[in-house]
Amino acid sequence: MDWKISNDSITYPEALAFMDERVAAIHAGQAAECVWLLEHPPLYTGGTSARDSGLLQARFPVYASGRGGQYTYHGPGQRVAYVMMDLKKRQSTPDLKKYVWSLEEWIIRTLAVFEIKGERRCGRVGIWVVCPDGTEKKIAAIGVRVRHWITLHGIAINVNPDLSHFEGIVPCGIAEHGVTSMAALGHGVDMAALDEVLRSHADVLTAA
């Protein structure tokens, strides 16, 4: 498994092009699997289930995405992890639900290191936290696609983004719950430190 970490902001088209090329190379047996950790400039992406009503205000560039799900936001202060992994190699029988579970578990175990309790919610994609005021908010998003049983896209953890940027969309189509970040919960985290923890807990992915 190759690990690629970008310190510079990566445009969405650049990321899509890299994933397409890498997945094709993995399928051809010409490249190793890859996890790419990066940040995007402010932008919105619409998944395959995106509805016009989910885009409230196009404050930033909007891109169509082949991943599952509805609208989401990416921007500075959010750690995106794109995972390009061969499920036929990793699983005796390729199972997308099991893979999504492993992504959730990866986030949950990573957040736990920083004393944040991330939780799954039935019917709600992503990882959620119970805030001090008792409300539930999303702290991490998940969106995946597979091609030849090789994964594309991945996860996005809100480390310290401008949360007002989420106001231009209905995040993942869920209007009744808001979003939060590690910083908003009182956990200031250096991106490099988060990367180190993500890498140390990635065994849950390769054991998928």
Write the pLDDT tens digit of every residue in 9-58: 999 999 999 999 999 999 999 999 999 999 999 999 998 888 888 899 98
Give Cα 122 distance to the centre of its chain.
18
User: What burial letters (b/e) apply to 103-138, b meaning 16+ CB within 10 Å?
Assistant: bbbbbbbbbeebebebeeeeeebbbbbeeeeeeebb
For residue 181, give the CATH number of its domain. Answer: 3.30.930.10
Enter the pTM of the model: 0.95
Q: Is the pLDDT of residue 175 over 80?
A: no
Mean pLDDT across the chain, nearest whole number?
94
Mean of the pLDDT values across residues 98-108? 96
Q: Is the pLDDT of residue 66 over 90?
A: no
More confident residue, 130 or 48: 130
* Separation between Cα atoms, residue 126 and residue 122, nearest integer Å: 10
* Separation between Cα atoms, residue 86 and residue 147, nearest integer Å: 9
Per-residue pLDDT, 194: 98
Per-residue pLDDT, 156: 97
Per-residue pLDDT, 92: 83
Q: Is the pLDDT of residue 149 over 70?
A: yes
Mean of the pLDDT values across residues 77-91? 95
Number of domains in the chain: 1
Q: How confident is the model at residue 208 (pLDDT cuts 50, 70, 90)?
A: low
Asked if 173 contacts 70 with a C-beta cutoff of 8 angstroms, the reply is yes
* Residue 127 token pair: 């990882």
Residue 112's domain comprises 2-206
Mean of the pLDDT values across residues 118-147? 94
- Range from 63-72, 124-133, 167-176 carrying the lowest mean pLDDT: 167-176
What is the enclosing helix (H) or strand (E) of 193? helix 191-200
Q: State the catalytic residues.
A: 172
Per-residue pLDDT, 170: 85
Burial of 58 (0-12, 13-18, 19+ CB in 10 A): exposed
Local structure of 164: helix, strand or coil: helix
Within 13 Å of residue 204, how many CA atoms lie on the same side as its CB? 18
